Amino acid sequence: MASVKSKILVVGGTGYLGRHVVAASARLGHPTVALVRDTAPADPAKAALLKSFQDAGVTLLKGDLYDQASLVSAVKGADVVISTLGSLQIADQTRLIDAIKEAGNVKRFFPSEFGLDVDRTGIVEPGKSILGGKVAIRRATEAAGIPYTYVVAGYFAGYGLPNIGQLLAQGPPTDKAVVLGDGDTKVVYVEEGDIGTYTVLAADDPRAENKTLYIKPPANTLSHNELLSLWEDKTGKTFQREYVPEEAVLKQIQESPIPVNIILSIGHAAYVRGEQTGFEIDPAKGVDATELYPDVKYTTVDEYLNRFL
């Protein structure tokens, strides 16, 4: 581990996941810079978020992904660049790669990933095309010779747990629960703050350089049936389980509009195909975050569900 903490630049730091990465970077003692388009936004919620960054010691740097001069300038001040850009800007990370190449000083780049392992997925459309953009960014990063870490984290807890694993539900089940497939395939749920913590811990860790960092907390790796049983134990209720066979899931994906078809295609990959858990990590290509950092006290699914009681 490096004795001097690296300077971390977060691009996309005000987004859903980015704010957790920024917070983790500051909390773990890294000089942290958040690239923002506007340091004094009119939106009260965004202004409050930026103030919380500043209160934590984060530097707000005005810049733009689409202004190469400001981007290169920002990158030159960083040792590590972490991108948490949303899906609509995945392809535009080539601008960030170009800036990193031009600056020539970055020791590690984390492109925006944090979901399925895009190099091993057999996800169906439309998810295939969306994740294909992340594959292209991986190849561009490697072609540029930039040291990297790819973070694979399963389901964000904030998306997968409030509805107890029911992808299209607005909350916990009241009488019945919809289950894709047979409900026995293991999936992974990770609290967003923990994703931030593991990501930042890997920034200075040579064991994670040019590797995929898999965040698969053992206590958070469970099947949909196990998740529902846990919720039943907590609530004292029993829910009818409506199992949707794979053929019906695939038909629903084909017939549904955006974004429902995207949500379901990812759900099919995770809940039916088992793509978050159905493999052994190749040590030549990947590392397990919970093995690298056993002292991290991550939020368990059991603990997280208590928020909804």
Distance CA(188)–CA(199), nearest Å, equals 16
Please confirm, yes or no, whether 134 is among the known catalytic residues. Answer: yes
C-alpha to C-alpha distances, 9 to 18, 51, 82, 94, 255, nearest whole angstrom: 11, 17, 6, 16, 41
Q: Where are the alpha helices (H) located in 41-155, listed in sequence order?
A: 44-55, 68-76, 93-103, 127-143
Catalytic residue, candidates 134, 176, 216, 234:
134
Residue 208 is given by DSSP the state G
Distance CA(259)–CA(32), nearest Å, equals 34
From the list 289, 292, 269, 288, the residue with the least C-alpha distance to 120 is 269
Catalytically active residues, by annotation: 134
